[in-house]
Structure 1
Amino acid sequence: MRYQRRAAAVGLIAAGTLLFSACGSDNAGGGGEQGGANAAACGGKQNLRASGSSAQANAITRFVTSFEQACQGQTLAYTPSGSGAGRNEFIGGQTDFAGSDSALSGEEAPRAEQRCASPAWNLPLVFGPIAVAYNVPGVTDLALDGPTLGRIFNGGITTWNDPAIAALNQGRQLPAAPIIVNFRSDESGTTQNFQRYLNAASNGSYPQEAEQTFSGGVGAGARGSQGVADATRNTPNSITYVESSFATRAGLGVANIINAGGGAPVPLNPQTVGAAIEGVQVSGQGNDLKLDLNSLYTTSTPNAYPIALATYEIVCSNYQDDATAQGVKAFLTTALSPDAQAGLPDAGYVPLPDRFKQRLTDAVNAIQ
């Protein structure tokens, strides 16, 4: 099979129509040690191309820096064009892999397999916690759970001293002020993932569609993560959902979440999000690591924070030329290295727990 592909590639090169050219040889790049067990086997295509999810863009920027340091002369150009565009560009052969907030759909998977001449794999490489951020004067410690959040974000609970909120925050003084919901007015993977959490964890109190647009029917819209963070900072008694780094920079309170197991409210930090990721179930087969995110949203693991956005790298399991396969493997291996993972919390992401990282490493190593 691989011999036939190489022969076909030679013919295409001769005709001048090869879609992905091997910009370097197997000896390109430094190939030095990078992160011990995750040392990148550098080489292959020098100038990789990818596009897609903007939610993972800052993580990819850090991964590219590590990649360029580990593999001299190699780089990746990543365009944060949005998840849908990223999947379409990958399927159309314009990029070497895609970044996406969602795995390939049932309609997209056969098209991606045709593009790859092999199955395409969904590899969840980047996780970003979603904060429930609030601005309630005098309240610096707030606990909420899925059913209560569902009712807040669809207008079923309208005041901060509602009995449902008070029951979760005994001993705290909550104002009788109206709750002001701020939501993303633009299409957003963060909105979709937050609404998926509400669907899964609210015990039916949030039956609205989990689309990329907010479906709750209450509140005020603001564009982008910075927009909702600013609106909440400037509006007393308001609440929103936003990537954790934006909440931190805006100086907002971040609610502790009681997960589906009940028990103590769980704060948002790398350790508690990592505990939820550790137990997430994989619905894909073999090295296709498509996730069952409901298993994260409804985790009952003690001290596991249940609201996070997972973003995938969508790759060919067997590329049609060796150079692209080796280049993609080198980049992803570097992204999984300790050095690359260590910088993620500064950008609002969560380093992968070891057991989950090993599963990804096995899948990356299997790319051909």
Structure 2
Amino acid sequence: MKLTRVGASVAMTAVAALALSACATNEAPATNNGSAAPAEQVEQLQGELTGSGATSQETAQATWKAGYGSIQAGVTVNYGADGSGKGRDAFKSGQSHFAGSDRAFKTDEIKEGGFSQCAEGSGLVEIPAYISPIAVAFKLEGVDSLNLDAATLAGIFKGEITKWNDPKIAALNEGAKLPDLDITAVHRSDKSGTTQNFTDYLNKAAADVWTEKAGEEWNPEYGGEGAEGTNGVQQVLGSNGTIGYLDASAAKDMTKAKIKVGEEFVELTPEAAAAVVDASEIEEGRTELDLAYKLKRDTTESGAYPIVLVSYLVGCAEYKDAEIGKLVKSYFQYVTSAEAQTAAQEKAGSAPISEELRGKINAALEKMK
């Protein structure tokens, strides 16, 4: 079905819903403190939304759709986890109403225009709705705790540190009984947003060692053992002497390294992962509705865990079809509510956004049309 037909249908049903609910006092399914409001307290909308994009959001999106449906029973939300690139393309061409993406649109991409859903002259709204910590997991018999800094981690994955009892590792783990055993560094063999964010951390936090810029594909010159997908990495990490990076939700039962930030070694927690976003700044050249962050991977902020993937929800600042804009705004407001973020944490292992970030997002979404 072409989107023009979908848009027409959504507009008709949404207009009808508005006529029936003129007495409603609230427009969005969230209260000022970020909590989702009961269905009887929000304007009941009608229609269908189509989104597509990041696979990282797939489980969270399923959770969000279910929660949103309990508040807005008349709205159907569809999300196809086709990958960030395809999601951005689908949104720009008008095949979907919103996108999920593991990166924001670049400023020059936005300047090119051609976003079919957006009103003339409209910018984009991009909000960091899904924060996924990336764990550095290892298996080393007799060792249940490991401290690493960025330079040492980069040396391991670049193939320059090859033994577990290497002096550089030992210096960070005083008293640990590190064996004279080869290190098997496990990386993703397929294109991966996890690899993109992991190598971005290494490049930003250990630039003297990891001189190569971030990329979705692993450089084969660095060696190590490749595994396809998160499941593949999980399987290889079952062997003694291995270390690898993977989404934290897939590393729940694994032993995870602490990462040096400033003068402390930070354990991976949802709060620590969210803290690195708060310690970062919006990229230059962005509008007030475009909350695209330049993550400060080399932060020294106490308690911040810098190896994270931040995935965005992308829509128009103003839609050509105002009724579609109302639906997208309503859904985005629900997704970033405290309840929806907590639900995603429980189901997908993501890190809920902080109250500080929620305040910035709410301010941006209020201006969305």
TM-score (norm 2): 0.88
Correspondence list, 1:149-228, <5 A: 149-215=153-219, 217-228=222-233
C-alpha distance after superposition, 1:142-195 (max 9, x if no partner): 011111111111111111111111111011111110110111111110110110
- RMSD of aligned residue pairs (Cα, Å): 2.1
Contact residue 29 and residue 333 of structure 2 kept, 8 A: no
Q: Name the counterpart of 1:252.
A: 254
Shift of 1:21: 2.2
Q: Name the counterpart of 1:326.
A: 326
Shift of 1:110: 3.0
Shift of 1:17: 5.4
Cα distance in 2 for partners of 1:25, 1:315 equals 18
Equivalenced residues, count: 346
Contact residue 43 and residue 327 of structure 1 kept, 8 A: no
- For the residue of structure 2 that corresponds to 1:167, the secondary structure is helix
Contact residue 136 and residue 238 of structure 1 kept, 8 A: yes
Cα distance in 1 for partners of 2:248, 2:172 equals 22
Q: For residue 285 of structure 1, what is the amino acid of its counterpart? A: T
Q: Name the counterpart of 2:359.
A: 358
C-alpha distance after superposition, 1:171-222 (max 9, x if no partner): 1111110110111111110110110001001142111231111126211111
Identity %: 33
Q: For residue 21 of structure 1, what is the amino acid of its counterpart? A: A
Cα distance in 2 for partners of 1:339, 1:121 equals 22
Shift of 1:128: 0.3
Q: For residue 8 of structure 2, what is the amino acid of its counterpart? A: S
**Deviation larger for 275-284 or 264-273:** 275-284
C-alpha distance after superposition, 1:99-143 (max 9, x if no partner): 111111244313445432311232111100000011111110001
Cα distance in 1 for partners of 2:96, 2:298 equals 35
Contact residue 29 and residue 330 of structure 2 kept, 8 A: no
Q: Label 1:210 to 1:338 Cα distance change in 2 as closer, same or farther (>3 A).
A: same
Cα distance in 1 for partners of 2:144, 2:226 equals 24
Correspondence list, 1:1-368, <5 A: 20-23=7-10, 24-26=13-15, 27=17, 36-37=31-32, 38=34, 39=36, 41-44=42-45, 46-112=47-113, 114-115=115-116, 116=118, 117=120, 118-215=122-219, 217-233=222-238, 235-248=239-252, 251-259=253-261, 261=262, 263-283=263-283, 284-293=286-295, 295=296, 297-346=297-346, 347-368=348-369
**Deviation larger for 37-46 or 81-90:** 37-46
Q: Label 1:17 to 1:155 Cα distance change in 2 as closer, same or farther (>3 A).
A: closer
Q: Label 1:100 to 1:167 Cα distance change in 2 as closer, same or farther (>3 A).
A: same
Contact residue 275 and residue 305 of structure 2 kept, 8 A: yes
Cα distance in 2 for partners of 1:17, 1:206 equals 47
Q: For residue 7 of structure 2, what is the amino acid of its counterpart? A: F
Contact residue 123 and residue 288 of structure 1 kept, 8 A: yes
Contact residue 155 and residue 218 of structure 1 kept, 8 A: yes
Cα distance in 2 for partners of 1:187, 1:107 equals 24
Q: Label 1:330 to 1:134 Cα distance change in 2 as closer, same or farther (>3 A).
A: same
Q: For residue 20 of structure 1, what is the amino acid of its counterpart? A: G
Contact residue 272 and residue 304 of structure 1 kept, 8 A: yes
Give unmatched runs, 5+ long, in structure 2. none
Cα distance in 2 for partners of 1:21, 1:63 equals 25
Contact residue 34 and residue 339 of structure 1 kept, 8 A: no
Cα distance in 2 for partners of 1:229, 1:355 equals 34
Q: For residue 123 of structure 2, what is the amino acid of its counterpart? A: P
Give unmatched runs, 5+ long, in structure 1. 1-15
Q: Label 1:140 to 1:42 Cα distance change in 2 as closer, same or farther (>3 A).
A: farther
Q: For residue 25 of structure 1, what is the amino acid of its counterpart? A: A
Shift of 1:56: 1.3
Cα distance in 1 for partners of 2:103, 2:152 equals 26
Q: Label 1:106 to 1:140 Cα distance change in 2 as closer, same or farther (>3 A).
A: same
Cα distance in 2 for partners of 1:69, 1:62 equals 11
Q: Label 1:45 to 1:323 Cα distance change in 2 as closer, same or farther (>3 A).
A: farther
- For the residue of structure 1 that corresponds to 2:244, the secondary structure is strand
Cα distance in 2 for partners of 1:351, 1:169 equals 31
C-alpha distance after superposition, 1:8-59 (max 9, x if no partner): xxxxxxxx95562242225269978955324565455511000000011111
Q: For residue 272 of structure 2, what is the amino acid of its counterpart? A: T
Shift of 1:285: 2.9
- For the residue of structure 1 that corresponds to 2:135, the secondary structure is strand
Shift of 1:274: 2.3
Q: For residue 288 of structure 2, what is the amino acid of its counterpart? A: G
TM-score (norm 1): 0.89
